[in-house]
Amino acid sequence: MTERWSGDGTYYLPARQVEPYRLWFEFLKQAHRDPDIQVDYEHYAEWGDFSSQVFGQWWSGSTWRQLFAVDAGVRVIDTAELGGNDAGAIIVRLPLNKDPSETLKDVAELLSQHNASVKLGEVAQGKFALSAGYEKAFLKYLPKVRVMLRCYTYWLDLGELDGNGRVNQTAAAFYKWAKSRDQAILSKGYKYNRPDIPFAVGQFAQAVLDGETPDENDRRAFMRYLQKARNLARNAAGGVFPGKY
């Protein structure tokens, strides 16, 4: 796998990767489809018409810089920018008539004095920031969150069904998609992440597809994924992501 893209050298993403922000966007889109969830559209005014766009189209251009990124570029400051220091940077004067190695030592000491840090929990955040503590748990379980998102999407697609029928067909749809994609990745040698199929979810879906009565523990495990997905959607709708789910 290639190194995760985290910025363009001047602007960088606090999470050091795109995926958490993609998931925020996708859960918000699904919340927009869910009749039981009210989206705070005023809060998301700067996101534009997110509901009708695919992520790549929406993310490209200046969107990611304006909404999520932090300015971390090293450059010469124009006099028009001299409005004082901000919370995420300091303005310094570097002498050109001094040994560069000595200047670099001075800069390193200055950064240390101002508590410069690369720890995810301590870095500055963009205009739209992931909720506090996201780096401690959420980033570690992104494959499971992708499972939640896809299951939730299928569940919304199957809105004409009720109760257990809807739940059963949601699990079956996810499982068939995951197995098909996994096979395509393996057979064609694609350098993509293979889809995660949690054991209990796979067992539940396989029983449904085989026309058997699913194990109740497997059903409950699948329902937890679905419930967490709806919690994430509600959080996103209210302007918080991931939040508690």
Domain ranges for the chain, please list them.
11-68+128-237, 70-122
pLDDT, position 120: 44
Q: Is 43 helix (H, G, I), strand (E, B) or coil?
A: coil
Report the alpha-carbon distance of residue 173 to residue 156 in Å, rounded.
12
Pair 224, 147: CB distance under 8 Å: no
pLDDT, position 1: 36
Report the alpha-carbon distance of residue 30 to residue 27 in Å, rounded.
5
- The answer to pTM > 0.85 is no
Mean pLDDT per block of 10 residues along the chain (245 residues) reads 70 92 98 97 96 95 91 60 57 69 65 56 74 92 97 98 96 98 94 94 98 97 98 98 97
Strands (E) located in 90-239: none
Cis peptide before 242 (omega within 30 of 0): yes
Closest by Cα among 230, 233, 207 to 219 = 207
pLDDT, position 234: 98
Radius of gyration of the chain measured on its C-alpha atoms: 23
**What's the Cα-to-Cα distance from 46 to each of 38, 130, 231, rounded to whole Å?**
18, 16, 23
Burial class (CB in 10 A: 0-12, 13-18, 19+), 121: exposed
pLDDT, position 100: 72
pLDDT, position 228: 98
Residue whose pair of structure tokens reads 């995760």 in the numeric block? 4
